[in-house]
Amino acid sequence: MDNSRLRSIILNLQDRLSNDDRKRLHFYLGHDVPRRIRDDPTLGGTLALMDSLFDQDKINEQDFTYLIKTFDEIRCFDAVKLLKDHLRQNRENNLSQSMQSLSLIMPPLFQTLTADQEEEDDKLGVHPDYIHLQNFPDNHQTTINNPQMHRNDYKTQQSLFTRLKRSTLFKKCLFLLIVLLLIFWTQCEVYRLKNNSKSFQTRLQRLENQMCSKTDFRNNRIVKWKLGESQGQIIAGGNGTDQLDKPTDVIINEQNNSLIIADRGKRRVIQWFSENQQEILIENILCYGLKKDNFGFLYVSDWEKHEVRKWKFGEMKEKEGTLVAGGNGQGNNLTQFNEPHFISVDDEQSVYVSDWKNHRVMKWRKDAKEGIVVAGGHGQGKNLNQLNHPQGIIVDDFGHVYVADSHNYRIMRWREGSTEGEIVVDGNEKRQKSNQLSDSHGLSFDVEGNLYVADYKNSRVERFDIDRE
């Protein structure tokens, strides 16, 4: 395989790597390369490291996601952007080549099919309809004696629809077109799934959101609203604080058709099967946000201990869970939180946390010892690089982080590696108009890409059609 273009890209990104970047790169990939290369974080050593990755076929011109992930892990976002741009260009080139291949294949095929059709038309001279013409009056004798004239006459006597039904050329072309379209669509779909590993998980989450279930914090209940209906249905709580007390988050457990509820006022996480059947999963926790992943783990943010832990479903009772983020006391260091609220988890088990009083969103990769700031982190404010008490967060197919910037009354989108966000909803002072927000909390997408926002102080859920690209 010709890797010259990728090698050229790798040479160009060397200028963007600092000495510390090279040291982190060699340390991170130390288990995949010989020790002599690992211990040589110079320009020559880095190039030797890349050669080793080519030799092991860990990277090549068609698939270098391993390298993108590596640079993302060591926070070399310029290198990530350069490689992703090259990956996107590869995709466009592959699609263009597919179209060119089709354009080269089609003309010869159509010529062959046309020749076959002409051969079929030549047989019309002995067609039963033609034999019947022998009984026609004398003025048709010229046509009978001239097969070419008969063929033209035969064609004109039939409707276009009848000829198409009888035409072998038409049937073959239709079949060929269907096959080519299926092949082309399959290639595009395989490429999309291969290069967008987050897509499957996100679609599963969206299916869950087609029926909107929201925590009714002040009324101590969970309410289900079917899309298009004007009245909701209470599916948990609703009897004062006897059952639920200020629930902050809820997720649906499809395996047993139950609800998992962060019952903050009662300092517990509860599984709700029905009015008469509930089960306490986690006790003595000032819980706030909940999220589950595709590996059977439940993640819970602890507002009091400033941490996030995960538990394996079915193994929660009398267990402390596994610490995945924070846990180093209250503070603003990269190892700390200051009242973590909502959380999101991607398919690589990286945890995103809205760090409420630090006015930022943190990302903790699996087994990381500290997090990285992916939104905000420049103090409390309303500039594009700031947040003001962030609440709900969600990460889409493209790696964009959507944040409910609650006290700025807006929804922000932070693209991967960006130093500032962009406003996707509102951005004005708090108001009650249908397109404005007042202290937004939870966020969710549906299958059509519409954004749903729990507009807390306006006591409503709003839907926004936004540009996802």
pLDDT of 203:
29
Among 35-39, 309-313, 464-468, name the one with the lowest average pLDDT: 464-468
For the stretch 115-166, pLDDT in tens is 655 565 555 444 444 434 444 444 444 444 454 444 444 444 444 445 544 5
Q: Are 151 and 121 in contact (CB under 8 A)?
A: yes
For the stretch 21-37, pLDDT in tens is 899 899 888 888 888 88
Tokens of 312: 């394996």
Evaluate if residue 321 carries a pLDDT over 60. Answer: yes
pLDDT of 138:
45
**pLDDT: which is higher, 449 or 383:** 383
User: What confidence category does residue 189 fall into, taking pLDDT thresholds of 50, 70 and 90?
Assistant: very low
Evaluate if residue 262 carries a pLDDT over 90. Answer: yes
- The H-assigned helical ranges of 39-124 are 43-55, 65-73, 77-122
Of 400, 397, 395, whose CA–CA distance to 416 is shortest?
400
| Interacting residues of 37 by C-beta distance below 8 A, sequence separation 6+ | 26, 45, 48, 49, 52
Q: What average pLDDT does range 242-247 have in this prediction?
A: 85
User: What confidence category does residue 2 fall into, taking pLDDT thresholds of 50, 70 and 90?
Assistant: confident
pLDDT of 6:
87
pLDDT of 42:
92
E strands of 92-231, at which residues?
A: 211-216, 221-226
Q: What average pLDDT does range 184-197 have in this prediction?
A: 45
What amino acid occupies position 44? G
For the stretch 216-228, pLDDT in tens is 666 888 888 877 7
Tokens of 60: 């090549």
Q: What average pLDDT does range 102-119 have in this prediction?
A: 59
In whole numbers, what is the pLDDT of the chain averaged over residues?
78
DSSP for residue 3: -
User: What confidence category does residue 112 fall into, taking pLDDT thresholds of 50, 70 and 90?
Assistant: low
User: What confidence category does residue 91 fall into, taking pLDDT thresholds of 50, 70 and 90?
Assistant: confident
User: What confidence category does residue 269 fall into, taking pLDDT thresholds of 50, 70 and 90?
Assistant: very high
DSSP for residue 398: T
pLDDT of 155:
46
pLDDT of 365:
94
E strands of 268-409, at which residues?
A: 268-274, 277-283, 287-292, 297-302, 307-312, 322-326, 340-345, 351-355, 360-364, 372-376, 390-395, 401-405
Angle between helices 168-194 and 199-208 (to 10 degrees): 90
Q: What average pLDDT does range 372-381 have in this prediction?
A: 95
pLDDT of 464:
86
Of the chain, the end-to-end C-alpha distance in Å amounts to 33
